[in-house]
Amino acid sequence: MDKPMTTVELPDIEGRQTFLAEVQERCGENLGLCYQCLKCTVGCPTAPYMDFNPNTIVRLIQFGLKREVLESNAIWLCVSCETCGTRCPNEIDIGLLMDALREMSLEEGYRAKEKGVVALHNAFMESIRRGGRVHEATMLMEYKLRSGDYWTDLIPGMKLFMKGKIPLLPGRIKGIDSIREIYKKTQKQRKVLEDREGKSK
Amino acid sequence: MREIASGEKGEMYSYFPGCTSHSTAVEYGLSIKAVLKALGVSLVEIEDWNCCGAAAVHSMNKLLSLCLPARNIAMAQKTDLELVVPCAGCFNMLKRTERALKTDPEMRREVESTVGFTYQEDLKIRALIDMVVNGIGFGRIEEKVQRPLTGLKVACYYGCALVRHPKVTQLDDPENPQYLDTLMSSLGATAMEWSFKTDCCGADLALTHGDFVVKLVNRIVGMAQEAGAECLVCSCGLCQINLEMRQDVGALGLPVFYFTELMGIAFGLEGTKWWSKHMISPSTLLDSLSLR
């Protein structure tokens, strides 16, 4: 056949290598080892609901497609169950990779496709900052306010409450100041976070 | 420091209860107390412990996710005791931090200066199931069995955080773990062979993506039923509540126990008032086997 082979022109994106290097530096994993065996994706419980499968995320990073990766819903639907990392024949810890991608996405102000997940994580983190431990009732209330999803799970929540499994009043540990201090020292991307939350409402 | 379960023989462990032990997993906390007391083991609750941060924090801020568990490690170090953690999720976060402290000198310096402590490498962090199986041992457990769980068919559910990532948790086999199965056999129950022992139940997304978490849960519980099990047994507060609350009760309706609850029944411990705390009551099942 003399029909020429189809070739795909990779977009010439500036900073393509930089993105790969940056991601590798952050998560400490060597993504060049991936040979696309798909073991990660096959074992992933949430892959059926992701826009890009875990193996595709690795490939996209190799291609330097930063926006596609950092705005994907995949990074927020990963539940860190570590099935991928445990089974990877090249020992790439994709769970750690996903953590790094989420953090980068937040710090650099990318639009999170899964606003509910981000709202829940924020509500959880705030709950610890307030009392040192998670207090379910106020944490869930804050999540509802942040996400605007008021009605889901109201009945199961009430059932738990009736069984005395959701204490009403929040407590506070004695060393709450040390928790707040830790938050202050580690919260470098905090401002970005709040701004983005404001915009998305 | 508050002692929560005091034994007689002077065997002591440092104890990190975790947030759910006072709320959604209250029956786990209660049964741990009762069972360890019966075994003569004392637990000393870590002074003024704080939340491990769980998935929310490591998804958002790596440094914070290491510093929150590190504060607990700092508190636990004040005793010379091994640290025991009942909840698989908390255990995983503490072990992640331990790994970072042991293998990443730069991160260690950052965590130490942020939290304000010096890490001592000899602190041993163990999951409760590991302490029960390898610390207390089956010999002592079998001695205590007064009412064998004969005829109780259980599916042992390990979930993710207890066994993965194996480089972090260093516990049992990540694909086909055996601790819970062997423990159940030693209590006289029948642990069914099944293939969903370590499949994730998606608990972290239960609030935001209930629609597909229900599918994950029903697949796990459905497979347990297909394998012949009448109930599940686990060691994680989040797994337990997710599996009991999100399963199709009409079609399945399998109660989910914490392993310590079943130990309590087998030991013939009185005052098991926590059954009413279950979202799916195990009473009918236990009555059918004269176990209540």
| Contact call for residues B228 and B192 (beta carbons, < 8 A) | yes
Q: Which residues of B touch A175 (CB under 8 A)?
A: 48, 50, 71
Judge whether residue A15 has pLDDT over 80.
Answer: no
Please state which of the four CATH numbers 1.10.260.40, 3.40.50.300, 3.90.1300.10, 1.20.1050.140 is assigned to the domain occupying B3-128.
1.20.1050.140
Least confident of A13-22, A176-185, B44-53: A13-22
Per-residue pLDDT, B232 = 98
For chain B, 292 residues long, the average pLDDT of each consecutive 10-residue run is 53 94 88 95 95 94 97 95 96 98 96 97 96 96 97 97 96 97 98 97 93 96 98 94 94 96 93 81 93 83
CB atoms within 10 A of CB B146: 11
Judge whether residue A75 has pLDDT over 90.
Answer: yes
Judge whether residue A3 has pLDDT over 90.
Answer: no
Looking at per-residue pLDDT, the higher value among B89 and A201 belongs to B89
Per-residue pLDDT, A17 = 77
DSSP B134: I
Touching B: A residues 3-42, CB under 8 Å: none
Inter-chain contacts counted by CB atoms under 8 A, chains A and B: 156
**What whole-number distance in Å separates Cα of residue B137 and Cα of residue B139?**
6
**What whole-number distance in Å separates Cα of residue A173 and Cα of residue A168?**
16
Asked if B19 has any chain A CB less than 8 Å from its own CB, the reply is yes
Per-residue pLDDT, A195 = 47
Bridging pattern class, strands B83-85 and B11-15: parallel
Both tokens of A73, joined, read 């819903």
Are both B3-128 and B146-288 of the same fold? no
Dihedral sign of CA atoms B260, B266, B271, B273 in order: positive
Per-residue pLDDT, A166 = 84
**What whole-number distance in Å separates Cα of residue B108 and Cα of residue A55?**
31
Provide CATH code, domain B146-288.
3.40.50.11810
**What whole-number distance in Å separates Cα of residue A109 and Cα of residue A111?**
6
**Full DSSP string of B227-283:** TT-SEEEES-HHHHHHHHHHS-TTTT---EEEHHHHHHHHTT-S--GGGGG-SS--H
Question: What are the structural domains of chain A?
Answer: 16-107 (1.10.1060.10), 115-188 (no CATH)
H-helix segments, B77-171: 88-103, 105-115, 128-130, 138-144, 166-169
Peptide bond just before B209 cis, omega within 30 deg: no
Per-residue pLDDT, A200 = 41
- Using the beta-carbon criterion (under 8 Å), do A81 and B164 form an inter-chain contact? yes
Both tokens of A148, joined, read 């605007």
Residue listed under structure tokens 């697949």: B219
Query: 3-class SS at B201?
Result: coil
Query: 3-class SS at B6?
Result: coil
Q: B233 pairs with which residues across the strands?
A: B156, B257
Domain boundaries, given as residue ranges, for chain B = 3-128, 146-288
pLDDT tens-digit series, residues A142-171: 999 998 888 888 888 888 888 888 888 888
Per-residue pLDDT, B1 = 47
- Using the beta-carbon criterion (under 8 Å), do A163 and B276 form an inter-chain contact? yes
Per-residue pLDDT, A199 = 44
Per-residue pLDDT, B197 = 97
- Using the beta-carbon criterion (under 8 Å), do B55 and A93 form an inter-chain contact? no
